[in-house]
Amino acid sequence: MLDDLKYIHEKDAQDALGIAERQWDQLQYVFDLPELSFPVENIVYAGMGGSALAAQVSLSWPGYSIPFEIVRGYDIPAYVSSKTLFIASSYSGNTEETVEALRQAEQKGAHIIVIASGGKLETIATEKKYPFAKLPSGFQPRHVVLYNLKALVTILERAKLTAEDKADISLHEAAETVKQAVVGWKADVATPKNPAKLLALEMAGKSPVIYAGPKLFPAAYKWKISFNENAKNVAWCDAFSEFNHNEFLGWYSHPIDKPYGIIELQSDLEHPQIQKRFEISNKLLSGRWPEPHIIKAEGEHILAQLLWTIAFGDFVTLYVALLNGLNPTPVDLIEKLKKELIK
């Protein structure tokens, strides 16, 4: 099935595989933003679902030298003030939680910046002359994580708030890593030689569970979202070493034959004790949980490893969608929910 290009083109009508293949190019996009000169003591980023993913990635890279918090909901932290940089991010521009969070931030006098492709947020940014990073339209939010990351890094550089020098250059270099990697995961690469297809076959019919250390946890979260929205599969994720303090024990109980597929995203850049925890946990849980599929992130630095791992997960989950007989792009149930909420 996964080598039947006619079947793939019929099911993947919106070319989600093509978007995944070309995602590296999102990091080349140029956002027209002014230099941002104002003193801030903290950064708050409001976003939901795919629109929050870039912020999650930014915690691992480029990182922050001042407090940074992601708000996934309607209400903002009490500490937001005129010394807060508040970034409102919604791909559609209409996400009600983010629009409400922006309203609250305005009341606190925060410095506002908007990331969106249009909608209410673009209207607000235009009317109130907020700096606005306009995303290309026509995608699903989970498919534009790298556009969003480039927008966020551009904002941080304009405001001189990046924890890493020349972050923009690093993004361009990492884009080349992704460009080269995806060649081996494309639809026209036969299953026996395609690791993304092979893993998809292993995960079909199972509930995926994705684990990573702190540095790669943003990628694990992206895999979880992609399983949910691409493959329409229940999935969850967790991070080491928190895993060892609770969830670890849950795997030890009966039934031993559990209907899950375990994926571990491992990085040689994690703390040595994190790497040791993976090894010991797998040994102690042997025979008590499904044998994990271990993915060793490729790349010389954490940004390259994050982007490589995210891209690999995109291909795996898209192939699982095809195995499920589904078009991976639509999220009809989410759209129905949104319509019900505004009645």
Q: What are the residue numbers of the active site?
A: 229, 245, 338
Query: Which of 33, 60, 26, 303 is CA-nearest to residue 144?
Result: 26
Backbone angles phi, psi at 105, to 5 degrees: -65, -35
CA 302, CA 61: separation in Å to the nearest integer? 7
CA 260, CA 209: separation in Å to the nearest integer? 7
Q: Which helix or strand (DSSP H or E) is residue 5 part of?
A: helix 5-11
Please tell me the total number of residues recorded for the chain in this structure.
343
Q: CB neighbours (10 Å) of residue 121?
A: 25
Backbone angles phi, psi at 51, to 5 degrees: -75, -15
E strands of 48-128, at which residues? 68-71, 84-90, 111-116
**Burial call 79-110: b when 16+ CB within 10 Å, e when fewer:** ebeebbbbbbbbbbbbbebbbebbebbeebeb
